[in-house]
Structure 1
Amino acid sequence: MTFISIFAPDMITYTASTPRLWVFNPGHEEALSFPQHQHLTLSKEIRWMRYELAPLLRLLASGEDLIYAPASPKGAPARLLNAEGETLPKDAILPPELLVTIWGVEAHILRELKNSPLLSRTTLHLPKFTEAYLHLSHRRASAELLQYLADELGYPSGILPLWIEAAETKEETQRLLLDAISEVSQRALGSPRELIVKRPYSSSGRGVQPLPLPVQEKHLEALVGSCMRSGSLSLEPYLEVIDNWAIEYTRDESGKVRFFDLSHFDTLPSGRAYRGNTLASPMMLWEGLTRLIGEESLERLIEAHTRWLEERLRSSEYIGYIGVDLFLYREKGQLYLHPCVEINLRTTMGVLAHFAYEQYVPEGKTGIFRLERGRGSATGERVIPLLLTGEDSRFTAFVELDK
């Protein structure tokens, strides 16, 4: 793989003459676990995120594209935005057709769009929701890719998650979980103080919880209940995360998966919630990660990711972005790479950060892309707000240029 080929990916192309309808639906992974035919009530936080953060998709929109912003939890009506993030008047003439591009595909958002009065005056071309897509969105798929990387590239099998399927009774499920806790604890070096528990359809820190060791009765009871509600859980060793990265890919109409860019991001102190991204050129990001793990290792990892993703998505009609999260962790004073923490079969904040860099950061400069709760406190001439916020805003996003 040559450096030039890596940084000349084919962008996602559809029908040039058909505008897109961009739809932001965070939390879609958890919606995947909910019965498709039943009405889904999202948490209030997720509904506020959808309402307030929808204008961020102007980073992706262009031309006659539109953005769908759903109703707020307080009853503000759903609205359509233009490619600049401005609300369209109610009597605006819509394009005759719109190619719907959803942040993360799931059945409930497809039904919401089909039934939306806002969109009754246009023809929607909706993505298809397939079993292959559902399978790749399950955290078990991340474990399968990690096993493949351990077999093909020699990554340690000790970091693999152990999946526990719920039994028919609480007593049997508890026994399975206790056996799994013992097995994963023995894999860890020394005397581990905690393990990591993950629910099957969850991402971006949601559905990820620490399990303190030794296990207390109240934690075990909660773990059993969670396993029985979700049908399964994974347990994996706790690793000391030093640095968070992701590799972003695209999948086109031909089924080809191609490298798009690297994403370097940070999390809140809890380590389980996204905070923001480094804004830098693709070359600088590439050099930053290869300094840590070596260029050959990164190229081999990208090749292995793309091979596996192309094979697993062969029966899927998914077209769009795919993110594979990684991190560097410390063990016995040495840094190691975890090559697949999770697979995000959707657009990611790393993709938004890529376009925020292109649109707002001068050539040769760097910055940060931040997503924060509340109105945010960053001010100054180097701060570029990405959202209009008021006194009661629950989220803010901005670009801050480095000095």
Structure 2
Amino acid sequence: MKLYVFNPDADMALGNNEENYMAPATIRRMAEDLALLPIWYARPGSGVLAPSAYNADYLKQMQQLFRLDVQLVTEPELPDYADMQVMPWGWNPAIRKRMLKGGVAESLLPSAADLSRYRRLASRANVRLLYACGGEAGNMSYLCGGEGVLVTADDFANKGREAVQELLLRWQDCGCICKSLWSGSGKGLCWYRQEEMEKVIDWCCRALRTDGAFWLEPIYNKVEDFAMEFYADGKGGVRFVGYSRFVTDGKGAYRGNLLATDMQVEEWIQTYVPLEAFHRLRESVRKGLAALGTDYTGFLGVDMMVCRQEKGHPYAVNPCVEVNLRMNMGIVAHTFCDRFVAPGGEGFFSIEYFPAQEALQEQHARDMLEHPLRVEQGRVVSGYLPLIPVTPRSRYRAFVRVG
């Protein structure tokens, strides 16, 4: 049996690297509102850590509609589940301390040394390793990217803001994105365009002080986002899990996933690149991930982009925008589509934030009325389904809309 925990502050807590880290209020709200989300991807017979209020009734309703063999576990009940393997959204010192304090056996938790190695692997600095490890895909047509660089504090020792400005000016023709080493879902990004120089210099200097480095890459002519999802067994084995097509806003922040089968994604990608080349890329990335080492067990995703090119083939794939060394929404959407969407069905999975509870309640009621849910034999045929209970206190919702 496994115990699943949704801790959406995983990347920020990993960057902070302190066991007493406290996430911003909006992220704590997200963790509470979406605590039950793992019921849709948890292994049968597992537990999901969440408050019982609201969640217990919602879980019973979902168990009547779908084949959900999961149970609710509350924080006071943790000592009764001390021997279960903990499956958080992502590991960091703060979630380790929380589980240890709750009564989980220390032998089942990663050690401080384990977390230190994991933190190094999860850094964006490892993006460049996938390009180097690509092997057969390294010389493959239909690829772009690889121009990113790791900028370290040693590069700017005793040089000040002028040196950072000089670096940015080298990228002013195409523009660039500065990325903190530990962040995800479109967070921790700073976009440089000519009119924003001072703001970006401030961001870079702060990143060099706090993390000692940041990742810098050009702004590509992106057409669409997608990802390849994998599972690492901790022994050097990495297997392909599936594809993920997702949507971001103008600043790269995650907005949602298309509910699509792997076959549908492969049909889609062929409008841009040949399928045989795409399969070669997938195998190359899998081998590259395996070459990173054996210090991680769990799901991971590699975000990619289809980009438009001015020369050669009109489209190319940037094979490694970033690696998410943790559970991610793409895997949630992929798993939900496989387990709970009727064959041939298509739809959208999304996480939304509402500044006012009343606005969320109104949108939830409107979606239930305009998109009535239809479930047959434990699979969604059409309609709107909230994946967590929407309560009077909720600010976040996770949902799918099918049909």
CA–CA separation in structure 2 for the residues paired with 1:97 and 1:46 = 28
Q: 1:102 — aligned with what? A: 88
Q: 1:231 — aligned with what? A: 212
Q: 2:223 — aligned with what? A: 242
CA–CA separation in structure 1 for the residues paired with 2:143 and 2:151 = 21
Identity %: 26
Aligned partner of 2:3: which letter? L
Per the alignment, do residues 373 and 88 of structure 1 end up closer, same or farther by CA in structure 2, a change over 3 Å counting? same
Find the partner of 1:30 among 5, 9, 12.
12
CA–CA separation in structure 2 for the residues paired with 1:88 and 1:203 = 28
Q: Deviations over 1:86-129 (max 9, x none)?
A: 5659679945620111211112211111002xx46x78722453
Matches within 5 A, 1:7-46: 19-36=1-18, 39-46=20-27
Per the alignment, do residues 89 and 225 of structure 1 end up closer, same or farther by CA in structure 2, a change over 3 Å counting? closer
CA–CA separation in structure 2 for the residues paired with 1:361 and 1:35 = 39
- Given that residues 386 and 398 in structure 2 are in contact (C-alpha distance below 8 angstroms), is that contact kept between their aligned partners in structure 1? yes
Per the alignment, do residues 310 and 30 of structure 1 end up closer, same or farther by CA in structure 2, a change over 3 Å counting? same
- Indicate yes or no: 2:308 matched with 1:311: no
86-95 or 49-58: which moved more? Answer: 86-95
Q: 2:310 — aligned with what? A: 332
Q: 2:398 — aligned with what? A: 397
Q: Secondary structure at the match of 1:140?
A: helix
1:181 CA drift (Å): 1.8
Matches within 5 A, 1:250-265: 250-265=231-246
- Given that residues 151 and 213 in structure 2 are in contact (C-alpha distance below 8 angstroms), is that contact kept between their aligned partners in structure 1? yes
Q: Secondary structure at the match of 2:170?
A: helix
CA–CA separation in structure 1 for the residues paired with 2:44 and 2:391 = 28
1:169 CA drift (Å): 7.4
Q: Secondary structure at the match of 1:115?
A: helix
- Given that residues 229 and 244 in structure 2 are in contact (C-alpha distance below 8 angstroms), is that contact kept between their aligned partners in structure 1? yes
CA–CA separation in structure 2 for the residues paired with 1:309 and 1:173 = 36
- Given that residues 14 and 182 in structure 2 are in contact (C-alpha distance below 8 angstroms), is that contact kept between their aligned partners in structure 1? yes
Q: 2:322 — aligned with what? A: 342
Can you give the 5+ residue segments of structure 1 that lack an aligned partner in the other structure?
1-18, 186-190
- Given that residues 13 and 21 in structure 2 are in contact (C-alpha distance below 8 angstroms), is that contact kept between their aligned partners in structure 1? yes
- Indicate yes or no: 2:130 matched with 1:162: no
Cα RMSD of the aligned pairs, angstroms, is 3.1
**What is the number of residues matched between the two proteins?**
364
- Indicate yes or no: 2:146 matched with 1:146: no
1:344 CA drift (Å): 0.7
CA–CA separation in structure 1 for the residues paired with 2:297 and 2:70 = 24
CA–CA separation in structure 2 for the residues paired with 1:52 and 1:168 = 43
Matches within 5 A, 1:72-83: none
Aligned partner of 1:134: which letter? R
User: TM-score, structure 2 length as denominator?
Assistant: 0.80
- Given that residues 132 and 313 in structure 1 are in contact (C-alpha distance below 8 angstroms), is that contact kept between their aligned partners in structure 2? no
CA–CA separation in structure 2 for the residues paired with 1:236 and 1:89 = 42
- Given that residues 387 and 398 in structure 1 are in contact (C-alpha distance below 8 angstroms), is that contact kept between their aligned partners in structure 2? yes
Q: 1:3 — aligned with what? A: none
Q: Secondary structure at the match of 2:352?
A: strand
